Amino acid sequence: MTEPKSVQAYIDQTPSWPDGTPTPSVPMTQMQWRIWTLATAGKFFEGLVVFMTGVALPLIVEEFGLSPTGKGIVSAATLAGIMVGAVAMGGLADVYGRRRMFVIEMLVFVIFLAGLTIAPNFGWLVVFLFGVGVALGCDYPTAHLVISESIPSRDRGKLVLAAFAFQAIGALAGTALGFVILTFDPSLDAWRWMYATAIVPAAFVVVARLFVSDSGQWLVSRGRRAEAERELRRLLKRKPQYPKQVRLAVSDDPAHHSHHRHGRWADLFNKKNRRATILASVPWFLQDLGTYGIGIFTPTILVHTIGHEVTNAHNVSAVIARDLEGAKGAALVDTLLIVGILAAVLMSDRVGRIRLQVLGFLGCAVGLAMAALQSHVEEPARTMLLFGGFMLFNFMTNLGPNSQTYLLAGEVFPTHIRGKGAGFAAAFAKIGAVLTAFIFPVILADTGTDVLLTGLVFTSLLGALITWWFRIETAGVNLEEIGR
């Protein structure tokens, strides 16, 4: 009989040659790839919806005749939903299991998205946008856990981040799709079609998620060993079969038998986990101020600073023309998000999460400072500073804080509170995003871009400092060992 092992030990196990030479790695099983692919979908839809809203916004404002406050509410609704969903539903993954929430969240997404396309008035529009956000918020912790609890430790950083990269791909797709739909259908109703495009793909994902294996680590943490063994066999099914048998060790950790089955929210703030909670949430909050602020308003800021037509557009065709201009500029700048995340995928397991996060924050500060300087120089230096600054910011934020904060939040907590910890961090971060959606338009109108960008330079520097102060490096660490 084989010696009993832990779930992660089975996943990390590599076969060896008869003389005992280990093979360097084990190819991922079909089920591991399927789980990864389905987890990327949530991130893709999030980028799609949040950035598409940037293109849809001028049309929505025009159709419903919204005030600046109304506009702020529409921008913030999805982000507020993400905040609520990450806490309220992310914690449920610790209670009801990873797979169940993985299916439910996507179902909720489809329902509210369908509602969005037929929203009759401002009130319903906000409700549906909020609902879409709740579903995406739940996906923050769940998608991360589903991936990180089913793949080898040595590849975890790469694969979690590669899934996260789909947020950037979604952002680019959202901006591009908005642009294409506007070109073919230059009417105020075009924004409904933008959201409608995602319904069928999302429904397909719901069905596919029903058929993945559940997290063995979660089942073990609930004392359901036989089920964990069965799910682990499904996860590691390959030809030829390896490992041949799965026997899980009984945990000798007494904590596992008492409160471990039901982690409490309070556990995030006890002496043992407090450092992890601060590291996972505060830098992420500071990073979201910049990323969402710059991301959502890139079209607006570009039109504000480069556009000679800062006056309010009076008719529908002028609104659409300006919207298309902004979308084009934004798409160019957004491509650097993808380049940045690819760099993060390649480097985070090698260089380490903490170093990349600190470096990224410093790079963001430089990029924002460049963009802030543009108002003090003449053309052509002005456009170069603005675009160069935004591009550097986008590259650095995705190489560092945007990707590493997400990665760390799902890694620094022990299994029984991992969903809660990752959920809390994501929600705390989204407070930053919601604040920007409300406050940015006001600051832009009152003080212009300078004050805004200078403020963000300081939040970036603060992020670097806090990351270094509370650092916990998780590259290549076995998830079951974390928090012991």
Cα separation, 324 vs 183, in Å, equals: 8
Task: Provide the number of structural domains found in the chain.
Answer: 1
Q: Domain with 69 in it: what CATH number?
A: 1.20.1250.20
Max Cα separation, the chain?
A: 78
pLDDT(264) > 70: yes
Residues in the chain: 484
Asked whether residue 15 is assigned to any structural domain, the reply reads no
Asked whether residue 190 is assigned to any structural domain, the reply reads yes
Range with the poorest average pLDDT among 65-79, 213-227, 256-270, 361-375: 256-270
pLDDT(308) > 60: no
pLDDT(407) > 90: no
Nearest Cα to 198, choosing from 127, 146, 135?
A: 135
Cα separation, 337 vs 392, in Å, equals: 9
Cα separation, 184 vs 380, in Å, equals: 33
- pLDDT for 296 equals 61
What global pTM score does this model have?
A: 0.80
- pLDDT for 302 equals 64
- pLDDT for 435 equals 82
Give the pLDDT mean for 230-236: 85
Percent of the chain scoring above 90 in pLDDT: 24
- pLDDT category at 453 given cuts 50, 70, 90 is confident
Asked whether residue 19 is assigned to any structural domain, the reply reads no
Give φ, ψ of 462 to 5 degrees. -65, -40
Asked whether residue 17 is assigned to any structural domain, the reply reads no
Whether residue 59 contacts residue 191, with contact meaning beta carbons closer than 8 Å, is answered with yes
Asked whether residue 12 is assigned to any structural domain, the reply reads no
Asked whether residue 223 is assigned to any structural domain, the reply reads yes
Give the pLDDT mean for 142-154: 86
Asked whether residue 37 is assigned to any structural domain, the reply reads yes
Domain of residue 223 covers 27-477
- pLDDT for 313 equals 47
Round the average pLDDT of the chain to a whole number and report it: 83
Cα separation, 21 vs 17, in Å, equals: 5
Asked whether residue 46 is assigned to any structural domain, the reply reads yes
pLDDT(92) > 90: no
